[in-house]
Chain A
Amino acid sequence: MPWCWPGRSSRKWDWHPGNDGIAKRIVHRFIAAELTIFVEPSRRWSFYKAINKERKVYLCPSLPHKRLKIMTDHPSHRAWQENELATSLARFPERYDAFYHHGGVEIPRLALPASIDQHYEERLGFPGRYPFTRGVQPTMYRGRLWTMRQYAGFSTATESNKRYRYLLEHGTTGLSVAFDLPTQIGYDSDHAMAMGEVGKVGVAIDSLADMELLFDAIPLDKVSTSMTINAPAMVLMAMYVVVAEKQGVSADQLRGTIQNDILKEYVARGTYIFPPKPSLRLITDIFRWCGTRTPNFNTISISGYHIREAGSTAAQEVAFTLANGITYVKAALAAGLELDHFGRRLAFFFNASSDLLEEVAKFRAARRLWAGIMKELGAAKPASCMLRFHAQTAGNTLTAQQIDNNIVRVTLQALAAVLGGTQSLHTNSRDEALSLPTEESVRIALRTQQIIAHESGVASTVDPLAGSYFVEQLTDRLEAEARELMARIEATGGVVAAIEDGFIQRQIEHAAYTYQKEIESGERIIVGLNKFQVDEEVRPPLLKVAPGVEADQVARLQRLKAERDNKQVERCLAALQSAAAGQDELMEPVLACVRAYASLGEICDVLRQVFGEYRDRQ
């Protein structure tokens, strides 16, 4: 590969240590002439130390053991440094003045190819600049580490509150609320369908009263909170806003994310309530209200995580997720919203699975694809084209056998997410194939992230795998494969039609079945499961939800219903009903219901009456 810019000659320059002044001058001259400097390997350390304060000099370590090369700026590289990078550095200084390997060699912020050509600029570009293949921020983790966000919640609001405070004390930087299934499906704890499920996979929230306990003594202006809630997202968001109000925190200070992604529920996760059309109305209403009132809150987290958990391939995960994203954007545009207004509040949520390099390529491909999609849809601001995502390690790869092996799996998966440029990360706990994680397991999971962040060194440079022939090829392949699948969905008549037709479900089911067959045949080795087994009689300490939770929760709900102003509740519910039956925006009437302590089930029942219920047909 030619090292010089086309048309320029390279020159060998012998540099002697101890004359830094000359070094600097010469370097400057070379920069002005856009020439390349070669330095003999035996002298590269001292040479580098001499000039390493010079920010405009760029070090390219692609052949570090032969020759040290100093490269002057390519025009677009310089433009990036002067714009995106300078702005970013001014706003978020890097964590250290410089990043070093052990021994003092500085780690470059951004390694670049020998020559920056049109192909590089279009396909990879610079971090923080369209098409964002190399990341959404110019300095990535040198500026700020990803948010370490552990999904947690179980039993009652009081119990979960204790777990959140424990996590915050141990260095977690964002909360992630897990709700129990009745809450996620808009049933109160005393509903017949809630039997056995109350407080099981998350915390039970029946009303504002529970939400107040959940965030008791947690300052909502300080933490960012992610809530895994979809069909009744509006109700839980309203509760969150009211709890903040009561803490004296205004809505515009709130930071966090609501999942609010109903389409993947129809194909993968199952916590739907209403049919697609009214569901999309609720979602766009949230976009509209939050766009002005909670400008720092991500109003949706378009999730491939569960699609992958359901058994899809990496390419399918990208395709179905981005296709869902397009559907939300189009729905919001149809409702009259401004693309550049809500576009930057769209967040994504992907799975970090075990095939390390494919996963890295997946994240990079997804970013490039989404940037192109948003541009095509008419986004003008670069921020609207950025695919920002949360990642979680793959729950379905955890084994119930030799559970400590899961720590290693999670480490590899977390590494994939970080190398792929995630904005926040949840690492699964080793015992999750067996039950809810214990406190000790949760701590190890968090420590895994901290070790990657502070010890592995991968956070010291941006997009370190860029330019690897293999990774770039894989990135291209995943992008092409996802594009093709998206075209097929489009041909079916869009995502909603493809869901109703069962196209998406069939694709996922087929992939899941094939994978399982490979494990069965031994073609695919899962350590401890189909190879390297040991006889074990393990009874790890497991966390169990106290059996009385359901009864307690029901009793609390009944007490609340007896004590609140029921006339007021009825008035608010009636107002919501008429708003829903018409075309009115729904967030304000829902806020009124929440303030009056109407229960989640009561609010959702009103909407069920108006909107009807979705039934799975696959």
Chain B
Amino acid sequence: MRKMYRVLIGKPGLDGHDRGAKVIARALRDHGFEVIYTGIRRLPAEIAAAAVQEDVDVVGLSSLSGAHLRLFPAVVEELARLGAEDIAVIGGGVVPAEDIAALQEAGISRILTPGASLQEVIHAFETACEEREG
């Protein structure tokens, strides 16, 4: 039996635009993932704690307000603090090209930028899950 992949979609910070996050959650569900959605306006610590409790393979973060440089790395740090540095973090939203390197440096494994197709998004989650499984 194939292991079910579990992912958590989180919206750190105050950005309330969750259209993208919800569309991605549904697309992942329709692709056979078990998806946990945190809802909007979450602290990085809340997202990390939920990811650990739910023992997900990957955390996907979405922020459209430009706060990604602070918030995404904060989630990575919180995961590490809880001993879950093996949970991969994927970031998405309005991320300018020059921020991508900084985010990767901070441990965000993949960055999805505006215009990424659902196929690309699903692929990113799938490979992140597979990599974690080893």
Contacts and interface: CB of A to CB of B under 8 A. Distances in A.
Contacts of A185: 14, 41
A185 B40 CA distance: 13
Interface stretch (B63-71, B84-92, B126-134): B63-71
Interface stretch (B50-58, B103-111, B114-122): B114-122
Given A193-B41, A196-B70, A197-B67, A182 B26 contact: no
Interface string A412-438: 000000000000000000000111100
Contacts of A268: 16
B91 to A, nearest CB: 13
Interface string A256-275: 00000000010011110000
A529 interface: yes
10 contacts: A181-B14, A196-B67, A196-B69, A201-B15, A399-B114, A399-B115, A400-B114, A516-B27, A519-B117, A529-B115
B38 to A, nearest CB: 10
Contacts of B118: 516-517, 520
Most chain B beta-carbon neighbours within 10 Å: one of A196, A271, A399, A542: A196
Chain B binding surface, main DSSP class: loop
Given A195-B44, A268-B16, 7 more contacts: A187-B14, A196-B68, A197-B13, A270-B41, A309-B19, A509-B23, A512-B22
B114 A181 contact: no
A194 interface: yes
Interface of A, helix, strand, loop or mixed by DSSP: loop
Contact of A200 (B26, B27, B67): B67
Interface of A: 181-182, 184-185, 187, 192-197, 200-201, 265, 268-271, 309-311, 396, 399-401, 433-436, 509, 512-513, 516-517, 519-520, 529-530, 539, 542, 544-545, 616, 618
Contact of B114 (A187, A197, A310, A433): A433
B115 A400 contact: yes
Given A269-B16, A512-B19, A520 B41 contact: no
A396 B64 CA distance: 12
B97 interface: yes
Given A196-B71, A433-B94, A530-B117, A618 B66 contact: no
A337 B23 CA distance: 41
B74 interface: yes
A618 B39 contact: yes
A559 B15 CA distance: 28
Contact of A400 (B39, B44, B66, B113): B113
Nearest to B74: A195
Contacts of B14: 181-182, 184-185, 187, 193-194, 197, 270-271
Contact of A520 (B22, B67, B119): B119
Tell me which of B18, B26, B69 has the highest count of chain A C-beta atoms within 10 A of its own C-beta.
B18
Contacts of B69: 196
A311 B40 CA distance: 17
Interface string B10-39: 000111111100110011000000000001
B84 to A, nearest CB: 21
Contacts, number: 105
Contact of A311 (B19, B43, B66, B98): B19
Nearest to B68: A196
Contact of B17 (A269, A435, A616): A269
B83 interface: no
A170 B27 CA distance: 45
Contacts of B19: 309-311, 396, 512
B119 A436 contact: no
Contact of B71 (A195, A433, A435, A530): A195
A265 B14 CA distance: 13
A509 B25 CA distance: 11
Contacts of B68: 196
Contacts of B23: 311, 509, 512-513, 516
B7 to A, nearest CB: 17
A434 B117 contact: no
Contacts of B117: 519-520, 530
Nearest to A202: B65
B123 to A, nearest CB: 13
Q: Please provide the 9 A-B residue pairs with the shortest distance between their CB atoms, ordered closest to farther.
A: A270-B16, A196-B70, A196-B67, A181-B14, A400-B114, A200-B66, A400-B115, A197-B67, A270-B40
B22 to A, nearest CB: 5
Contacts of B27: 513, 516
Given A309-B19, A399-B114, A195 B26 contact: no
A539 B97 contact: yes
A181 B94 contact: no
B111 to A, nearest CB: 13
A181 B13 contact: yes
B119 A310 contact: no
Contacts of B74: 195-196
A200 B119 contact: no
Contacts of A434: 94, 96, 114
Of A185, A197, A401, most B-chain CB atoms within 10 Å: A197
Nearest to A198: B67
Contacts of B44: 195
A267 B88 CA distance: 30
Nearest to A200: B66
B41 A401 contact: no
Contacts of A197: 13-15, 65, 67
Nearest to A268: B16
A399 B13 CA distance: 24
A182 B66 CA distance: 13
Contacts of B115: 399-401, 433, 529
A201 B65 contact: yes
Interface centre among A182, A309, A400 (most CB of B within 10 A): A400
Nearest to B72: A196
B49 to A, nearest CB: 15
A209 to B, nearest CB: 22
A436 B66 CA distance: 9
Nearest to B16: A270
Nearest to A181: B14
Given A270-B17, A433-B94, A435-B96, A616 B43 contact: no
